[in-house]
A and B are shown apart, each in its own frame.
Chain A
């Protein structure tokens, strides 16, 4: 019998499985151990956890508690919720506890800490946990009740899905950013519920870890289970001096077959925008949009609150002013990013242009605080979701684009192509 050929996702699931089977295939359910668990401040608003906290953690050295969504507490409910999670951190004896000011958004922070390592599985409640796939590993959102089980037992389950292969070739041409690459593929591929994505192609070698992370994070919007990038030199050098332990990268078996194949040439992708209310099959080039005035411009989130986003914003904003009819809110994803952006002068340039820089948090990305939209307002954001009501009023409209496009729009006061300021391949 020919051994079953496995892709990267199947290999990681198999390596963590508690059964002694030698293979897995689509449709199988696997019970797996997890290498780390992250619990977030927002769990303090879940009665399940508050009313029935875990007695102890399966391994407290593998549990991290991170305050990111509502940092610092914007209202009394959240203040009470987080005070209870602090109590829990103490009760469980968790060392990796990061209160306000010490972590930033979990997905970006976990990478900085060297927790995201090839071959691993990490459990986190948040739906953008899939971000970890950029690091040749697996994570997905689990929900708070389920996380209680993982904290107690160190185990969870996954249904093995079919896997599609997306080949990324060529390299992005300025001013295109990896958000545009994602918006292009979301527009063409659409949703893939219960399926997985494996990325391949020579273009990946040209992408920084930030750029890969934007794509993996955003894959949550395609409704997939997992999305994963291969291990290569770029990832290896990112992990040098950072990885918290040794790790085991995975590669797909040669001749592994995927359920479908897609291929994109990143050289051809111009600045893109997602129209309000949904992401998949709802995107187009910014240049085709027409004149859409914006009341608020937001740069931030686990996907696009990274140093490259702040750099790109600063490059466009330097020496210019945010248009008087709009406002710009910039939210770095972590304190480390904030600090580096300050050192490199980006924060000053954004402030000089009239933009507001907030502390690291999820903030307006989830309509929590720091930039809620009013009825009838229109926003453009480089955060992760444009769903109706996401950033405040259900009568607001949210366009989604790269940080460069948001910065260009902030100057113009309407959704604008960054080519106008940066020139480049598409001007």
Chain B
């Protein structure tokens, strides 16, 4: 996993919940089809216009809601990182555990307009808006969570430690 992530910004508002990121219909679709319904209720058509590597910028309380695998849908759409004004704790866990970096900075939305080219340095805890030249520090994730992200998610770590069967149920 790259520790410095650069991408184009998509900007969302406050309280974007996991029902929006992973609508219930996703549960019964084949795995590859699920990301197509990301933000289906609040921003239909969005998954088709995201490019691989884009970054999601959001307001307060991003990821409120169910423990459904919302972060997997974001990864599936092509999102490479999330930076929000604040993050729901369960979303943070689910994001890290599937290898999606998610960090927070209270001022982030005032610094980004949709479409800006932005950069997140996960090691230094530094955000830069390459389009406007602005920058701001944020609190880096604890090292043990960065290790999970670097490994590509918790399943990879568990596989390596030999706790999981390689044969599917």
Q: Which positions in A face B, CB cutoff 8 Å? A: 29, 42, 45-55, 75, 77-78, 84-85, 87-88, 125-127, 140-146, 148-149, 152-153, 157, 159, 161, 191, 193-194, 221, 223-225, 278, 280, 366-368, 385, 387-390, 394
A140 — which chain B residues lie within 8 A by C-beta? Answer: 89-90
Task: Across the interface, name the chain A residue whose C-beta is closest to B139.
Answer: A27
Proximity bits, B145-168, A CB within 8 Å = 1, else 0: 000000001110111011111101
B23 — which chain A residues lie within 8 A by C-beta? Answer: 389, 394
B65 — which chain A residues lie within 8 A by C-beta? Answer: 127, 385, 387
A388 — which chain B residues lie within 8 A by C-beta? Answer: 19-20, 41-42
B169 — which chain A residues lie within 8 A by C-beta? Answer: 49-50, 53, 84-85, 87-88
Tell me if B's interface is mostly helix, strand, loop or mixed: loop
B48 within 8 A of A: no
Task: Across the interface, name the chain A residue whose C-beta is closest to B28.
Answer: A77
A142–B97 CA distance with the chains assembled, in angstroms? 10
Q: How far apart are A369's CB and chain B's nearest CB, in angstroms? A: 10
B88 within 8 A of A: yes
A54 lies within 8 A of B93 (CB): no
Q: A52-B155, A223-B61, A387-B19 are in contact. Are A146 and B97 (CB under 8 A)?
A: yes
A148 — which chain B residues lie within 8 A by C-beta? Answer: 154-155, 158, 163-164
A161–B88 CA distance with the chains assembled, in angstroms? 12
B144 lies within 8 A of A29 (CB): yes
B28 lies within 8 A of A52 (CB): no
Q: How far apart are B94's CB and chain A's nearest CB, in angstroms? A: 4
A388–B65 CA distance with the chains assembled, in angstroms? 12
A55 — which chain B residues lie within 8 A by C-beta? Answer: 162-165
Proximity bits, B2-30, A CB within 8 Å = 1, else 0: 00000000000001010110011001100
A54 lies within 8 A of B163 (CB): yes
B166 lies within 8 A of A141 (CB): no
A149 — which chain B residues lie within 8 A by C-beta? Answer: 154, 157-158, 163
Q: How far apart are A219's CB and chain B's nearest CB, in angstroms? A: 12
A193–B86 CA distance with the chains assembled, in angstroms? 7
B98 lies within 8 A of A145 (CB): yes
- Some 9 contacts from A to B, beta carbons below 8 A apart, are A42-B27, A54-B163, A77-B28, A140-B90, A145-B97, A146-B94, A149-B158, A153-B163, A387-B65
Q: Which positions in B face A, CB cutoff 8 Å? A: 15, 17, 19-20, 23-24, 27-28, 31, 40-42, 60-61, 64-67, 69, 86-90, 93-94, 97-98, 142, 144, 153-155, 157-159, 161-166, 168-169
B90 lies within 8 A of A366 (CB): no
Task: Across the interface, name the chain A residue whose C-beta is closest to B85.
Answer: A193
> Which of the listed residues A126, A368, A387 has the most CB atoms from chain B within 10 Å of its own CB?
A387
B67 — which chain A residues lie within 8 A by C-beta? Answer: 125-127, 141-144
A241–B98 CA distance with the chains assembled, in angstroms? 42
A152–B157 CA distance with the chains assembled, in angstroms? 12
Q: Which residue of A46, A50, A142 is within 8 Å of B93 (Cβ)?
A: A142
B69 — which chain A residues lie within 8 A by C-beta? Answer: 46, 143-144
Q: How far apart are A123's CB and chain B's nearest CB, in angstroms? A: 12
B31 lies within 8 A of A47 (CB): yes
A77–B169 CA distance with the chains assembled, in angstroms? 14
Task: Across the interface, name the chain B residue whose C-beta is closest to A146.
Answer: B97
Q: How far apart are B28's CB and chain A's nearest CB, in angstroms? A: 4
B165 lies within 8 A of A143 (CB): no
Q: A52-B166, A126-B67 are in contact. Are A146 and B41 (CB under 8 A)?
A: no
Task: Across the interface, name the chain B residue whose C-beta is closest to A368.
Answer: B24
Task: Across the interface, name the chain B residue whose C-beta is closest to A86.
Answer: B169
> Which of the listed residues A145, A152, A368 has the most CB atoms from chain B within 10 Å of its own CB?
A145
A159 lies within 8 A of B166 (CB): no
Q: Which residue of B93, B158, B161 is within 8 Å of A143 (Cβ)?
A: B93
**Extra 15 A-B pairs, beta carbons < 8 Å, given A127-B66, A388-B42, A394-B41:** A45-B27, A52-B159, A53-B164, A87-B169, A126-B66, A142-B90, A145-B154, A148-B154, A149-B158, A194-B89, A223-B89, A280-B15, A368-B24, A385-B65, A389-B41
The 6 residue pairs across chains A and B that have the minimum distance between CB atoms: A394-B41, A152-B163, A389-B41, A84-B169, A52-B164, A141-B67
Task: Across the interface, name the chain B residue whose C-beta is closest to A366.
Answer: B24
B28 lies within 8 A of A75 (CB): yes
A50 — which chain B residues lie within 8 A by C-beta? Answer: 168-169
